[in-house]
Amino acid sequence: MSQSNETIGIIGAGWVGLVTAACFAELGHRVIVLDVVPERIEQLKAGNVPIYEPGLTELLERNKERMSYTLEIKDVTDEADFYFICVGTPPTYSGDADLSAVWAVIDSLPPLERRAVVVMKSTVPAGTGEKVRAALQARGLDHLGYASNPEFLAEGRAIEDFVHPDRIVVGSFEPSDSERVGALYAGIDAPIVYCDVASAEMIKLASNAFLATRISFINEIANVCELTGADVEQVAKGMGLDRRVGPHFLHAGIGYGGSCFPKDVTALKQLAGNSGYHFQLLSSVIEVNELQKRRVIGKLEKHLGSLAGKTVAILGLTFKPDTNDMREAASIVLGSRLLAEGAEVRAWDPLAGRDSYLRGANICDSVLDAVTGADAAIIVTEWKELRELASEQVRGAMRHPLIIDGRNLLDPDQVRAAGFAYDCIGRPGHCNHTPGKATSSEPPAE
Contact residues for ligand UGA (CB under 6 A)?
123, 151-155, 208, 211, 215, 249-251, 253, 256-258, 260-261, 319-320
Give the contact letters, 146-165, x = binds to ligand NAD (CB under 6 A), - = no: -----x-x-x----------
Report the residue from 63, 77, 123, 172 that binds ligand NAD according to the rule CB under 6 A: 123
Shortest Å, Cβ 364 to ligand NAD: 27
Q: Which part of the chain contacts ligand NAD (CB under 6 A), choosing from 32-40, 165-173, 183-191, 432-440?
A: 32-40
Q: How many residues bind ligand NAD (CB under 6 A)?
A: 26
Residue (of 368, 379, 369) closest to 415 by Cα position: 379
Nearer to ligand UGA, 233 or 375 (CB): 233
- What residue 215 binds from ligand UGA, ligand NAD, none (CB within 5 to 8 A, per partner kind)? ligand UGA
Reduce the DSSP state of residue 181 to 3 states and report it.
helix
Out of 8, 27, 105, 232, which residue is the one contacting ligand NAD (CB under 6 A)? 105
- Is residue 212 part of the contact set for ligand NAD (CB under 6 A)? no
Q: Enter the DSSP assignment of 156.
A: T
Q: Are 99 and 274 in contact (CB under 8 A)?
A: no
Stretch near ligand NAD under the rule CB under 6 A, chosen from 101-109, 386-394, 410-418, 438-446: 101-109
267 sits near ligand NAD (criterion: CB under 6 A): no
| Closest chain position to ligand UGA (CB) | 260
* CB-based burial label for 112 (10 Å; 0-12, 13-18, 19+): middle
Q: Does 55 bind ligand NAD (CB under 6 A)?
A: no
Helix ranges, 191-323 (H): 197-228, 232-240, 261-274, 280-304
Q: Which is nearer to ligand UGA, 40 or 320 (CB)?
A: 320
DSSP assignment string, 74-91: HHHHHH-SEEEE-----B
Those residues whose C-beta lies under 8 Å from the C-beta of residue 173, and which sit 6 or more positions away, are 129, 133, 145, 146, 196, 197
The beta-strand segments (E) located in 343-397 are: 344-348, 362-363, 376-379
Residue 204 or 395: the one with the smaller Cβ distance to ligand NAD is 204
Please identify, among the stretches 97-105, 170-178, 310-318, 344-352, the one whose residues bind ligand NAD according to the rule CB under 6 A. 97-105
- Contact segment (CB under 6 A) with ligand NAD among 86-94, 141-149, 174-182, 409-417 equals 86-94
Interaction partner, residue 77 (ligand NAD, ligand UGA, none; CB < 5-8 Å by kind):
none
CA atoms within 13 A on the CB side of 400: 21
CA distance linking residue 358 with residue 335, whole number of Å: 6
CB of 305 to ligand UGA, least distance (A): 29
Task: Single out the residue of 130, 117, 37 nearest to residue 81, CA to CA.
Answer: 117
Residues identified as active-site? 260
Using CB under 6 A as the binding rule, whether residue 122 contacts ligand NAD is answered as yes
Residue 324: CB atoms within 10 A of its CB come to 17
- Contact yes or no for 79/40 (Cβ under 8 A): no
If you compute the radius of gyration of the chain from its CA atoms, what whole number of angstroms results? 24
Task: Give the one entry of ligand NAD, ligand UGA, none that residue 251 binds, where binding means its C-beta sits below a cut-off of 5 to 8 angstroms depending on kind.
Answer: ligand UGA
Contact partner, 11, from ligand UGA, ligand NAD, none, Cβ < 5-8 Å per class: ligand NAD
**Which residue from 92, 123, 88, 80 is spatially nearest to 105, judged by alpha carbons?**
88
- For residue 33, the cross-strand partners are 10, 69
Segment 373 to 402, residues that bind ligand NAD, using CB under 6 A: none
Integer angstrom CA distances of residue 47 from 15, 79, 128: 16, 22, 35
Binding site for ligand NAD (CB under 6 A): 11-17, 34-37, 40, 86-89, 101, 104-105, 122-123, 151, 153, 155, 259-260
